[in-house]
Amino acid sequence: MITDLIINIFVGVVYLILQAVSLPVVNNIVVPDDAFDALKKILTNVGYILPVETFIYILSFKVAICSFVVAWAMILRIKSFIPSMGR
């Protein structure tokens, strides 16, 4: 009961701040059909100069290493909670 009141006070302050700085509502947002043609032309021309395929391999390798590090850290953390397996 008391903690619920304290949490509601903090949440109420946050709601007041968000209402004061909220953005106006825009109902009709229309993206033109050729909005990304310029970006497509730029990226097509950059593809002739830079080895994009090699960059994709490097990026996927980096993502794989980062994912492995995160998974390994989670395994070690979970393992540390088991009494017979912790360090």
Mean per-residue pLDDT, 35-61:
87
pLDDT value of residue 68: 97
pLDDT value of residue 31: 80
C-alpha to C-alpha distance for 39 and 36, rounded to whole angstroms: 5
> 59: pLDDT confidence band, cut at 50, 70 and 90?
very high
C-alpha to C-alpha distance for 52 and 60, rounded to whole angstroms: 12
pTM of the model: 0.44
> 87: pLDDT confidence band, cut at 50, 70 and 90?
low
Mean per-residue pLDDT, 6-26:
82
Is residue 29 packed enough to be buried (19+ CB in 10 Å), middle (13-18) or exposed (0-12)? exposed
The mean predicted confidence, pLDDT, of the chain is 86
